[in-house]
């Protein structure tokens, strides 16, 4: 709450760049920040998730965003973040290939670039106070924009005491004309990008609960995968893939984004990449999650 600007005591409006997803939480945060007297610039990164970006832009504009930035970061996500993890053979707790962990710094880097360019003194995000994303976003922002101030609503008592659950957010949304989902939310949370989809919370909190078959989106069930293999030749240079060729079909890809996307397609078709783990979060909590690579 120390970061809240109070227009009664200042002669200018503070500008904040909000990492925006278009979902319920960040839409409510957008309106709440405006209530606190901020000019809000929203930033939505395309890192390979299935998203209606035009709808998200219209929604942000309708809720009063001063500016809306939607930027395609897929190529730099592969080249600057995914490939270095491949070079380093970066794996967390022997199994987790860090799909969300490397995506957040990619988003945060562009967020602070926008903040600097727009003269914004503040950045904000919708990460909770219980998970890793708050750390990923904030360390990135502080490293690249040391003087920036970060507004983390889910750690501000005035915010989290007001919004104690989804019901409170829904009521706030209805009161302020924020469009809300018309279909029931899936009984888990999901984070998707080019590198993976991760699922956690809800029914997955109980380790005895098997992940439902309809949860998986990037990979086929191995039982339903083709019996005939695809034969791929991958050429590496300095530890990084520079070309992939499907020897059966004669197809080749040689740009980083095309290579990675094609390998996703082939691997997913063969059921490659599913894991089910209970991981240790940075803050000390344990979290059960299903990951797709």
Confidence of residue 164 (pLDDT cuts 50, 70, 90): very high
Burial class (CB in 10 A: 0-12, 13-18, 19+), 228: exposed
The catalytically annotated residue of 25, 39, 109, 136 is 25
Q: What is the pTM of this model?
A: 0.91
**Among 29-43, 165-179, 232-246, 270-284, the least confident range:** 270-284
Show the CA angle centred on residue 167, arms to residues 164 and 170, nearest 5°.
115
Question: Is 225 an active-site residue?
Answer: no
| Residue bearing the bigger pLDDT, 154 or 275 | 154
pLDDT of residue 9: 41
Confidence of residue 2 (pLDDT cuts 50, 70, 90): very low
Measure the CA–CA gap between 106 and 137, rounded to whole angstroms.
Answer: 9
Question: Is 191 an active-site residue?
Answer: no
Confidence of residue 187 (pLDDT cuts 50, 70, 90): confident
Measure the CA–CA gap between 64 and 41, rounded to whole angstroms.
Answer: 9
Residue 105 pLDDT greater than 90, yes or no: yes
pLDDT of residue 72: 98
Work out the average pLDDT over 65-82. 98
pLDDT tens string 206-242: 888 888 888 888 999 999 999 999 999 999 999 999 9
pLDDT of residue 172: 97
Mean pLDDT (the chain) is: 91
pLDDT of residue 194: 95
Contacts of 262 (CB under 8 A, 6+ apart): 244, 251, 253
Residue 202 pLDDT greater than 90, yes or no: no
**Among 5-19, 101-115, 184-198, the least confident range:** 5-19
Question: Is 104 an active-site residue?
Answer: yes
**Among 136-150, 180-194, 269-283, the least confident range:** 180-194
The catalytically annotated residue of 189, 201, 225, 287 is 189
**Among 52-61, 67-76, 84-93, 177-186, the least confident range:** 177-186
pLDDT of residue 291: 63
pLDDT of residue 8: 42
The catalytically annotated residue of 74, 104, 109, 110 is 104
The catalytically annotated residue of 39, 110, 133, 191 is 133
Kindly state the tokens that stand for 239.
Answer: 């530890």
Kindly state the tokens that stand for 127.
Answer: 């990460």
Question: Is 189 an active-site residue?
Answer: yes
**Among 122-126, 179-183, 254-258, the least confident range:** 179-183
Q: Assign 3-class secondary structure to the chain.
A: CCCCCCHHHCCCCCEEEEECCCCHHHHHHHHHHHHCCCEEEEEEEECCCCCCHHHHHHHHHHCCCCEEEEEECHHHHHHHHHHHHHHHCCCECCCECCHHHHHHHHHHHHHHHHHHHHCCCEEECCCCCCCCHHHHHHHHHHHHCCCCEEECHHHCHHHHCCCCCHHHHHHHHHHCCCCCCCCCCCCCEEEECCCCEEEECHHHHCCCCCCCHHHCCCCCCHHHCCCCCCCEEEEEECCEEEEEEECCCCEEECCHHHHHHHHHHHHHHCCCCEEEEEEECCCCCEEEEEEEC
pLDDT of residue 184: 62
Phi first, then psi: what are they for 82, rounded to 5°? Answer: -70, -50
Confidence of residue 289 (pLDDT cuts 50, 70, 90): confident
pLDDT tens string 5-57: 444 444 467 999 999 999 999 999 999 999 999 999 999 999 999 999 999 99
| Residue bearing the bigger pLDDT, 187 or 79 | 79
């Amino acid at each position: 709450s120390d970061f809240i600007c109070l227009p009664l005591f200042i002669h200018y409006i503070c500008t904040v760049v909000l990492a925006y997803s278009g979902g319920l939480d960040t839409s409510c945060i957008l309106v709440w920040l405006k209530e606190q007297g901020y000019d809000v610039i929203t930033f939505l990164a395309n890192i390979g998730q299935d998203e209606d970006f035009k709808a998200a832009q219209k929604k942000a504009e309708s809720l009063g965003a001063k500016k809306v930035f939607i930027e395609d970061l897929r190529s730099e996500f592969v080249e600057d973040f995914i490939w270095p993890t491949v070079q380093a053979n970066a794996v967390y707790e022997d199994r987790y290939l860090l799909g969300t962990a490397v995506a957040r710094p990619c988003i945060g880097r562009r967020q602070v670039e926008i903040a600097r360019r727009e003269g914004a003194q503040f950045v904000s995000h919708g990460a909770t106070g219980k998970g890793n994303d708050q750390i990923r976003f904030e360390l990135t922002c502080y490293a690249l924009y040391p003087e920036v101030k970060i507004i983390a609503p889910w750690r501000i008592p005035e915010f989290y005491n007001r919004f104690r659950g989804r019901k409170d957010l829904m009521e706030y949304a209805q009161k302020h004309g924020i469009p809300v989902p018309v279909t029931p939310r899936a009984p888990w949370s999901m984070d998707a990008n080019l590198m993976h989809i991760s699922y956690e919370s809800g029914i997955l909190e109980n380790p005895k609960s098997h992940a439902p078959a309809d949860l998986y989106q990037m990979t086929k069930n191995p039982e339903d995968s083709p019996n005939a293999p695809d034969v791929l030749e991958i050429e590496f240079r300095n530890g990084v893939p520079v070309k992939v060729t499907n020897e059966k079909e004669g197809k080749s890809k040689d740009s980083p984004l095309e290579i990675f996307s094609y390998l996703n397609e082939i691997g997913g078709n063969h059921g490659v990449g599913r894991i089910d783990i209970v991981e240790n979060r940075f803050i000390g909590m344990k979290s059960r999650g299903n990951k797709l690579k």
